[in-house]
């Protein structure tokens, strides 16, 4: 595998290995090249390599293992449905090392949740398609994902109504664009706290008395085409799980 890139700063070196790890090209336990090898292939100083590795260690992506050098760490952060889109586009892989999903359900429902109605610009009582699944890391439930689609989205991508994971593409966007000629854009992602429902607690294997409130972190995002909203995604994270926040840009 070639490790050379056009960048020569520590951030470029870190970004290169970060992508390999997130894309699953480097799995937990895999060794990174030695410092001398990285120096040679990136044409950088040893101090630059050390700084890049320190950044990756600070992000929990790699760890030091004595004689083994620097190795990829076991993931410490949850990868949500939205976070998988870049990896899917880049590699065609739905899941990274140790990741999986279970509890897939597909339902047609009339929606009355004001938040969902606002996001999809629909009236209460409008029928939508809801896909539900629980994401896993090394067999441990980490989050519950809800994907809610308008009827016009499902008309263009009927595969969304099939039980289980989508077989052709884990992300509906490319299929929708291919069939309608309208590009799908991802809106801003928001995060907030709320109480978990009983169904969410069961999916996340959280066992507490029925009267005990459990606060969970939720993130959501709405997808649009030129005519308006086409989908709303929501991820509910188990208490204590970490999620990655996109880096700020100037």
Q: Which domains does the chain have, with CATH numbers?
A: 10-74 (1.10.10.10), 78-243 (3.40.1410.10)
Please tell me the distance from the alpha carbon of residue 100 to that of residue 118, in angstroms, as a whole number: 31
User: Backbone dihedral region of 192: left (phi > 0), alpha (psi from -120 to 50 degrees) or beta?
Assistant: beta
pLDDT at 250: 46
Please provide the average confidence, as pLDDT, over all residues in the chain.
89
pLDDT at 74: 81
pLDDT at 95: 81
pLDDT digits (tens, 9 = 90+) for 116-152: 999 999 999 999 999 999 999 889 999 999 999 999 9
pLDDT digits (tens, 9 = 90+) for 186-215: 999 999 999 999 999 999 999 999 789 999
pLDDT at 1: 44
pLDDT digits (tens, 9 = 90+) for 44-95: 999 999 999 999 998 888 999 887 789 998 877 788 778 888 777 777 777 8
Please tell me the distance from the alpha carbon of residue 93 to that of residue 78, in angstroms, as a whole number: 16
Global pTM reads: 0.80
Q: What is the mean pLDDT of residues 100-116?
A: 95
Whether the pLDDT of residue 174 is over 50: the answer is yes
pLDDT at 168: 60
Higher per-residue pLDDT: 168 or 18: 18
Q: What is the mean pLDDT of residues 219-244?
A: 94
Confidence of residue 99 (pLDDT cuts 50, 70, 90): confident
Which residues are 215's β-sheet partners? 195
pLDDT at 167: 65
pLDDT at 6: 47
């Amino acid at each position: 595998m070639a490790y050379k890139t056009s960048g020569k700063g520590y951030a470029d070196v870190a970004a290169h290995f970060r992508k390999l790890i997130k894309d699953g090209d480097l799995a937990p336990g895999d060794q990174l090249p030695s410092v001398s090898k990285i120096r040679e292939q990136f044409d950088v100083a040893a101090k630059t390599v050390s700084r890049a590795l320190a950044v990756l260690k600070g992000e929990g992506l790699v760890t030091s293992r004595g004689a083994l050098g620097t190795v990829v760490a076991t993931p410490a952060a949850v990868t949500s449905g939205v976070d998988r889109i870049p990896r899917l586009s880049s590699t065609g892989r739905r899941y990274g090392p140790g990741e999986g999903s279970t509890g897939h359900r597909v339902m047609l429902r009339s929606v009355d949740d004001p938040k969902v109605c606002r996001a999809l610009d629909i009236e209460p009582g409008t029928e939508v398609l809801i896909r539900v699944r629980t994401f896993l890391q090394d067999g441990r439930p980490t989050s519950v994902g809800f994907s809610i689609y308008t009827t016009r989205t499902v008309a263009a991508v009927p595969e969304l109504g099939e039980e289980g994971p989508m077989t052709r593409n884990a992300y509906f966007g490319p299929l929708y664009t291919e069939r309608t000629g309208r590009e799908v854009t991802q809106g801003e992602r928001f995060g907030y706290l709320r109480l978990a429902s009983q169904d969410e607690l069961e999916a996340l294997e959280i066992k507490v008395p029925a009267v005990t409130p459990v606060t969970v972190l939720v993130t959501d995002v709405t997808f649009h085409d030129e005519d308006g909203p086409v989908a709303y995604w929501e991820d509910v994270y188990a208490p204590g799980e970490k999620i990655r926040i996109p880096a700020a840009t100037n």
